[in-house]
Amino acid sequence: MSLRLRLSLSYAGLLGIVLVVFSVVLYLTMAKILLDEVDSRLRLAASQVHMSVGAADERHDLRILADTVLGAPLTSELAAPGLTVQVLDERGRLVASSPNLKNEQLPVDPALVDGGLRGEQSVATLAALAKERVRVLTMPLTVNAKVLGIVQVGQSLHDTDIAVARLRLLLIAGSLATIVAAGIVGWFLARRGLKPIGDIADAAREIGETADFGRRIDVQLPGDEVGRLATTFNDMIERIEESFESQKRFVADSSHELRTPLTVIRGNVDLLKRPLGNEDRRECLSAIESEAERMSNIVAELLLLARLDSAQEFDRQPVELDTLLLEVYRQAKVMAQGRRLLLGHEDCAVVTGDPGRLRQVLYNLVDNATKYSGEEATITLSLHRLDGWVRVDVADTGVGIAAEDLPHIFDRFYRVDKARSRATGGTGLGLTVVKQIAEAHGGKVTVSSALGKGSTFSVWLPLT
């Protein structure tokens, strides 16, 4: 069953329940009010009968008393329209009846007559000859505490029943018409309300089929629930589009980066096919070797980035960062090639992480500091413990980075000076790897640099 049908049915169903409850309550209340009104007229008539016979004494016989009762003002059609009176003797036989009864008689219930003879007054609904319902009040005709007979005052319920039947018909027809109308209106309202959801579903299907991530949904009312759904959907598609674009850029950049060494290798292989002297041959082979090494560096770093991207779980263990820094310092002394390498302030600090990857972070930063500084430069490694964090600084007095390049140096394959990076064997991925590893450990990397003066890279990691 569609959501639209479900909504329309529940809407009409709920309204139906409310209408049925309301109609039943209204119908029963109205029927009771009308019957109460008849009963109060009958009781008023009974009190008038009492008054009319009040002055009589026991010498009066029943027939004379009956004339007194029938002569009372309650039998007047104008004073009490439709009110009929009859007098019965103690055996329940008719003694006299009001002229408006003509040849008919009010229905007699022996039980009520017996009750009346015992002095009880009662009101009951009885069925008359023509299937009419009559409300009959039965009361004793008492003179000086002696029951001489029975007086019955009747009122036909014909008009009341017609009024109640009309009300019933009106309520049933009205409720049915309202429920059907509500169902139809609900059906159209649901279509209007659900249309944006249908649009979102269509758009999602089309995007899935065509991979056109540039498509967006037109958000009509951003504040309502459907508007929020459409906005969320648009945001999600935007993120997918961004990641799709960056994926495409990444593949294009990677192919481009790998093409350069491949071209160099192929050129040198072509050269080797020709007759060459020993010296030229050695040069060709060494060029091929260094380009092959660059390619494997690129591929290794791409693989590492792919693993970091896919958020693969890595080794997590306590790592003494000060010991790790000391190891990298010793190793870097070999690479420093005459540059002054110093160990500055060093606190003791233990972090949780992958020792191999953290070593790579420090190694990449020291490698960059060496690559992008002259032989007279100084490189200083230091470690500070600060309020829940540990900060490792790699500072150099090298070439520095221009302010406009600083925001991009962590991007994949971004190099300030392509030629210099290439000459020093750089891949343009070193800092991306540093950033990704630091972030995977819940940390971050910051940099401050001044062109021609040097740079300081700081890796922040949360303390264990």
Which residues here bind ligand ADP, judged by CB under 6 A? 368-369, 371-372, 396, 398-401, 409, 414-417, 421, 426-432, 455
- Closest contact distance (angstroms) between CB of 399 and ligand ADP is 5
Q: Which is nearer to ligand ADP, 381 or 429 (CB)?
A: 429
Pairing of strands 122-127, 94-97: unpaired
- Closest contact distance (angstroms) between CB of 356 and ligand ADP is 18
Residue with tokens 């089309």: 206
Q: Which is nearer to ligand ADP, 85 or 440 (CB)?
A: 440
Q: Which is nearer to ligand ADP, 353 or 400 (CB)?
A: 400
Q: Which is nearer to ligand ADP, 380 or 432 (CB)?
A: 432
- Closest contact distance (angstroms) between CB of 373 and ligand ADP is 7
Q: Which is nearer to ligand ADP, 409 or 461 (CB)?
A: 409
Round to whole Å and give the CA distance between 78 and 120: 29
Nearest to 362 by CA among 312, 326, 337: 326
Q: What is the 3-state secondary structure (H, E, C) of the chain?
A: CCHHHHHHHHHHHHHHHHHHHHHHHHHHHHHHHHHHHHHHHHHHHHHHHHHHHHCCCCCCCHHHHHHHHHHCHHHCCCCCCCEEEEEEECCCCEEEECHHHCCCCCCCCHHHHHHHHCCCCEEEEEECCCCCEEEEEEEEEEECCEEEEEEEEEEECHHHHHHHHHHHHHHHHHHHHHHHHHHHHHHHHHHHHHHHHHHHHHHHHHHHHHCCCCCCCCCCCCCCHHHHHHHHHHHHHHHHHHHHHHHHHHHHHHHHHHHHHHHHHHHHHHHHHCCCCHHHHHHHHHHHHHHHHHHHHHHHHHHHHHHHHCCCCCCCEEEEHHHHHHHHHHHHHHHCCCCEEEEEEECCCEEEECHHHHHHHHHHHHHHHHHCCCCCCEEEEEEEEECCEEEEEEEECCCCCCCCCHHHCCCCCCCCCHHHHHHCCCCCCHHHHHHHHHHHCCCEEEEEEECCCEEEEEEEEECC
Q: Which is nearer to ligand ADP, 213 or 414 (CB)?
A: 414
- Closest contact distance (angstroms) between CB of 364 and ligand ADP is 6
- Closest contact distance (angstroms) between CB of 270 and ligand ADP is 28
Q: Which residues contact 43 (CB under 8 A, 6 or more apart)?
A: 123, 137
- Closest contact distance (angstroms) between CB of 274 and ligand ADP is 33
Round to whole Å and give the CA distance between 112 and 124: 9
- Closest contact distance (angstroms) between CB of 422 and ligand ADP is 8
- Closest contact distance (angstroms) between CB of 421 and ligand ADP is 3
Q: Which is nearer to ligand ADP, 39 or 417 (CB)?
A: 417
Contact 133, 127 (CB under 8 A): yes
Q: Which is nearer to ligand ADP, 212 or 439 (CB)?
A: 439
Contacts 24+ apart (CB under 8 A), 172-178: 172/23, 174/23, 175/16, 175/19, 175/20, 175/23, 178/15, 178/19
- Closest contact distance (angstroms) between CB of 330 and ligand ADP is 20
- Closest contact distance (angstroms) between CB of 396 and ligand ADP is 5
- Closest contact distance (angstroms) between CB of 404 and ligand ADP is 12
Q: Which is nearer to ligand ADP, 357 or 371 (CB)?
A: 371
Q: Which is nearer to ligand ADP, 45 or 257 (CB)?
A: 257
Round to whole Å and give the CA distance between 119 and 83: 22
Q: Which is nearer to ligand ADP, 351 or 394 (CB)?
A: 394
- Closest contact distance (angstroms) between CB of 415 and ligand ADP is 3
Q: Which is nearer to ligand ADP, 11 or 372 (CB)?
A: 372
